[in-house]
Amino acid sequence: MKNQKTNLLCLLTTAIFCIAAAINTASANAKDCGGSIECACGDTVKQNYTMQADLNCAGNALVLGADNITINCGGHIITGNGSVGQE
């Protein structure tokens, strides 16, 4: 019985660590973009931007990081998992 509790505790600790690492990685990969800097899912658009490719994002697509930003899709599309993306 003690062995089962130890195994369960080890499994839960590992799961929590993996989830925390995944969240940190997603945040660390997001960057400022716009202008001549290509944007990817989760990035913050700081300047007007013309898309160079379609975006298919599971989480945030693009975050607007300034007033009066124009995103020209240039014939490309932004798709996601169907959740509401407006705050």
Q: Which helix (H) or strand (E) holds 16?
A: helix 2-29
pLDDT at 28: 55
- Which three-class secondary structure state does DSSP give residue 55? strand
pLDDT at 32: 95
pLDDT at 14: 61
Tens digit of each residue's pLDDT, the chain (87 residues): 666 666 555 555 565 544 544 444 444 578 999 999 999 999 999 999 999 999 999 888 999 999 999 999 999 999 988 776 555
pLDDT at 21: 45
Strand partners for 44: 32, 63
Can you say whether the dihedral through the CA atoms of 81, 83, 84, 86 is positive or negative? Answer: negative
pLDDT at 65: 94
* Both tokens assigned to 78: 């932004």
pLDDT at 20: 45
